[in-house]
Chains A and B, each alone.
Chain A
Amino acid sequence: MSEATARPLQVRGEVLSTHRVGAYHHLVLVAPGVADQARPGQFVALALGGPDTNLVLRRAFSIYRVSTRGVYGGTVEIIYAARGAGTQWLARQVQHTRVDVVGPLGRPFAPPRDVASATLVGGGYGSAPLFALAEMLQARGCRVDFVLGAASSDRLFGALDAKRMGSIVAVTTDDGSAGTRGRVTDVLPAVIERAGTDVVYACGPMAMLRAVSVVADSYGIPAQCAVEESMACGIGVCMTCVLPVRGDDGITRMVRSCVEGPVFLGDRVRWDDVGTVPADALGAPR
């Protein structure tokens, strides 16, 4: 994983393998070139449905991990839930199905300048990009701890990876079927205190990111949050994936999560106003 400034590629990818992982699917795609450029937190946009599809929009998937070596010349892996027509089609595909891949896209997680203690928080399959991030942080000498949460144990992703890599691994489920019953933010303060956390990295549903951001704020530490907004293109032209974010100048703008994100500083996102255009946003209706 190297330079993030490289331009995204559009390549004809191919399904290498697909497996069930609990309630999710794990897809390995051959995508020459994309793997070499990808950095943790970036995503790929896939054209799904095959050549005669009536699905006209791309689907964005956070990159779980990549492999730049091996006989396939670069693979990209994603974790997804088969919820809509596109992902249900994807779940039915077998080896060698062609899938058009655009990526890597978006701003990746930024590593801390100095050696730091990092707490990585994932909700559901939102934890997928955190493991490549953990590898990168550990290679820089950072301490890494995990807090993983989900509705139920089959919706937890990567608990074994986390146990292999993390100093502390805290797990929560809404129904108590694994770990502590409750939300990630119920256990996050204790982890921050034990780990002496300097920075939080989070990926998951909007409500979780908002809550994580509030906890990080209360400890005076930054939270880098990767958001999940629905996108039509993933490359910055459709303007559908916007959310209100405060800039360096203090002005709130409706920014595109595909090119200005998906990773934002938690204290810059106006979480309570997501889904609205705040009255003080640049260009808001008067």
Chain B
Amino acid sequence: MTFSVRTVPAPTAPAEPACDVTTRLGPVTLPNPVLTASGCAAAGRELDQFFDVTQLGAVVTKSIQLAARSGRPTPRMAETPSGMLNSIGLQGPGIDDFLAKDLSWLRERGARTVVSIAGSSVEDYATLARRLRRADGVTAIEVNISCPNVADRGLVFACDPVAAGDVVAAVRHETDAAVPVFAKLSPDVTDIVAVARACVEAGADGLSMINTLLGMALDLDTMRPVLAGVTGGLSGPAIRPVAVRCIWQVHAALPDVPIIGMGGVRSGLDALEMVLAGASAVSVGTAVFNDPGAPPRVLHELVVALAERGFDRLSDAVGFAHRGPA
């Protein structure tokens, strides 16, 4: 007696469509445009448990300061509709520990690293850049001049074009020309293009936008602020339209300046929207808290979305929405 067996093909992962997703950020070319967002990925090690961080365009570190910082008291977090407020206050290890433990790990792991730096004076930023110049494994520097969780709003450099330019000039001066310097901008300004222009004139190779928006929530049982720090930075999908608007305005004014877009990206289509508005790369931030596998998923979805729209190259899609009617 004979019988036939119908063989079932083993399921295979859907083939990645052919699309050149390399992206240029000033003097550096990344293999793809999806990055982590500063403050949402620590220094990559925790996320490497869930996916291979070397698959990303780059890991963007939590902002590093000169000395270790304890951050603000708890509660540091409040969930809001399609978003969250945070008031961490830049808790971190300081540059020495970062170089010895985190950057060395990222380098050995083979990840490209964008080091975010934060300080409270122009001299702090210059010193940090000087320390990084002597370190190996720095793909780019993101200058965080826009963290809202500081006691004095006057210290938010990104709220003032002159102060923003001063910080960027100091970092650019201390940084190797082969390492691009990106300035991270705040949306909480009247004219983001003026701040962007000041940063570029001061030597920024590109711009990262947006940082969180300053927000606040009250606990209606205690009738007091939810956050120990009273105010916090709003992030998540709720702020994505603000980010798209900022990217659009700055790309329209400064079309040759590369932009890393961030603010509420949780899918490849969200990333595509930022690319079409003018971003050459996209950071995935708060979405990681909900889905630690979000960055590689966003990359895969972005590649599919580009191919579906007939793009062979990511670079052709950057700023595409600014062109006249189809």
Contact = CB atoms under 8 A, between A and B. Distances in A.
A58 B292 CA distance: 10
A236 B71 contact: no
Interface in A1-25: 7-8, 10
A188 to B, nearest CB: 27
Contact of A236 (B46, B81, B86): B46
A240 B88 contact: yes
B289 A233 contact: yes
B241 interface: no
Nearest to B41: A237
Interface residues of B, number: 41
B91 A283 contact: yes
A237 B68 contact: no
B91 A233 contact: no
A78 to B, nearest CB: 18
Given A56-B82, A232-B84, A239 B71 contact: yes
A242 B255 CA distance: 42
B83 A283 contact: no
B177 interface: no
Contact of A102 (B67, B74, B292): B292
- Interface size band for A: 35 or more
A218 interface: no
A241 B288 CA distance: 16
A10 B51 CA distance: 10
Contacts of B79: 55-57, 232
B225 to A, nearest CB: 13
Contacts of A242: 71, 74, 76, 91
Interface in B285-319: 286-293
Given A238-B40, A259-B46, A275-B228, A58 B70 contact: no
Contacts of A7: 49
A229 interface: yes
Given A56-B83, A242-B76, A283 B46 contact: no
Given A7-B49, A239-B88, A240-B88, A47 B73 contact: no
Contacts of A253: 70
A135 B8 CA distance: 44
Which one of A55, A236, A239, A253 has the highest number of Cβ atoms from chain B below 10 Å of its Cβ? A239
A54 B235 CA distance: 13
A95 interface: no
B296 to A, nearest CB: 12
B74 A275 contact: yes
Decide if the interface of chain B is mainly helix, strand, loop or mixed. loop
Interface in A52-81: 54-58
A243 B73 CA distance: 9
Interface in B57-90: 62, 67-77, 79, 81-84, 86, 88
B74 A58 contact: no
B179 interface: no
A97 interface: no
A242 B228 CA distance: 13
B291 A47 contact: yes
Given A10-B292, A277-B71, A237 B46 contact: yes
A241 B70 CA distance: 13
A58 B289 CA distance: 7
Contacts of B76: 239-240, 242
Contacts of B81: 54
A166 B67 CA distance: 50
A102 B91 CA distance: 25
A100 interface: yes
A275 B73 contact: yes
Interface string A239-277: 111110000000001100001000000000000001111
Interface string A146-170: 0000000000000000000000000
A233 B292 contact: yes
A180 B227 CA distance: 37
B68 A282 contact: yes
Contacts of B291: 10, 47, 100
Closest 5 CB pairs of A and B: A283-B68, A240-B77, A283-B70, A233-B289, A283-B69
Interface of B: 39-42, 46-47, 49-50, 62, 67-77, 79, 81-84, 86, 88, 91-92, 94, 228, 236-237, 286-293
Interface of A: 7-8, 10, 47, 54-58, 100, 102, 229-230, 232-233, 235-243, 253-254, 259, 274-277, 281-285
24 contacts: A54-B82, A55-B79, A56-B84, A56-B286, A56-B289, A57-B77, A57-B79, A102-B50, A232-B86, A233-B288, A235-B46, A237-B289, A238-B40, A238-B77, A239-B62, A240-B86, A242-B71, A275-B74, A275-B228, A277-B72, A277-B73, A281-B70, A282-B70, A283-B71
